[in-house]
Amino acid sequence: MNVKLKLFVCMCFSIMCLFSALTIKAAQVPLDSVIRASQKVAGDWYDASGNKVLSISNGYINGCRIVDGADFVGGYPGAGVFIIQEAQGRKAIHLQWLGNGEHKTLIMNKKDQLTNQLQKEHYESVHGVYLGMNRQAVIDLLGTPSSIEKMYSRETLIYTNLGLKIVTEHNMVTVITLTGKGARFAKSGLSIDSSMLDYYNFYQFNRIPSELSKDKYQGPFSIGHGEYIFFGGKEVSLTVYNT
């Protein structure tokens, strides 16, 4: 399975989530499974302004008991509907979780991007673009893309002259792909023409990628900080996905 297909499968979680509210009969989930799912995203979650929006702990969201759930998909990344008991009645909240480390992200009700860190950081970047960056900030920085491919909440901004493709989901950058010689990673200076040894030596992968299989999918290579590199199809991708 090549890198594009693997990344596409991961990003399809966003698309699958769009249909959960449209099903005629919600897929009910046992309460203990709902509680276990909530533990994957336990903690405090903040919006872009630093305001605490959600606090999830021990079967409670914002102090309200989780009483039901439905339409869960995936493990990690994944998504589902949590139903809590408020004083005025029950409330359903759709949550989608993805990313690791500094890029651990929660999407609330398919629109609000939340982070568990007040100061969200990144490690690697290309042409000033980094994982977790806002879509509009990318356009403000690089200008209008050569073309845009859209699929529900997922967009691919293609900058042909820069040798770059940028995937955004819910307006957040989740994949940065080097497609041409003009694109290089800022920290390492490496490009699509760099050797596997150069990548291995700089990023200190936990295993060495094969030069003979450079254009084939070899799985994710962690560079720390919740960021991963994939090789395949004469392209190199930086992403928040680890599968």
- Joined tokens for residue 50: 């630093």
What is the CA 198 to chain-centroid distance, rounded?
Answer: 26
pLDDT band for 8, please (50, 70, 90 cuts).
low
User: What domains does the chain contain, in order, with CATH numbers?
Assistant: 3-115 (no CATH), 125-239 (3.40.33.10)
The pLDDT score that the predictor gives to residue 20 is 43
Q: What is the pLDDT of residues 158-187, one digit of tens each?
A: 999 999 999 999 889 999 999 998 899 999
In eight-state DSSP terms, residue 185 is B
- Residue 242: which pLDDT band, with cuts at 50, 70 and 90? confident
Report pLDDT digits (tens) over 20-67. 433 334 567 899 999 999 999 999 999 988 899 999 999 999 999 999
The pLDDT tens digits of the residues spanning 212-233 come to: 988 888 999 999 999 999 999 8
User: Torsion angle, CA of 94/97/103/107, rounded to 10 degrees?
Assistant: -10
pLDDT at 13: 47
> What is the pTM for the complete model shown?
0.81
| Cα dist from 171 to 5, 58, 87, 153, whole Å | 21, 30, 33, 8
3-state secondary structure of 218: coil
